[in-house]
């Protein structure tokens, strides 16, 4: 996950940051653990997590659109 996040965002998270985020997501019921694979613990997004993520991405899309429109006015 750390490598995927770094490639996608250009930001490298430390293990403490990542594991803290995973714990919060799991506690909120947005992700759930799958069967462990050797040393790796895979997770999947829950139906509730999909709804929350979709709502947040929709909000970000509206925010981004408004910001880009305002930049075009400059």
The phi, psi pair for 53, rounded to 5°, reads: -60, -45
Helix (H) or strand (E) holding 31: strand 31-33
Nearest to 26 by CA among 34, 15, 16: 34
Residue bearing tokens 């075009």: 72
pLDDT in tens, 6-26: 999 999 888 889 899 999 999
- Tell me the pLDDT tens digit for each residue of 52-64: 999 999 999 999 9
**Full-prediction pTM beyond 0.85?**
no
Domains of the chain by residue range:
2-72
φ/ψ of 2, rounded to 5, equals: -60, -45
Residue 27 makes CB contacts below 8 A (sequence gap 6+) with none
CA–CA distance, 5 with 13 (Å, rounded to integer): 8
CATH value of 2-72 in 1.10.10.10, 2.40.40.20, 3.20.20.70, 1.20.120.160: 1.10.10.10
């Amino acid at each position: 996950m750390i490598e995927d996040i770094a490639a996608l965002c250009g930001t490298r998270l430390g293990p403490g940051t990542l594991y803290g985020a995973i714990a919060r997501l799991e506690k909120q019921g947005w992700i759930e653990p799958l069967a462990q694979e050797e040393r790796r613990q895979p997770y999947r997004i829950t139906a509730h997590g999909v709804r929350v993520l979709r709502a947040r991405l929709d909000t970000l899309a509206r925010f981004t659109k408004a910001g880009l429109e305002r930049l075009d006015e400059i």
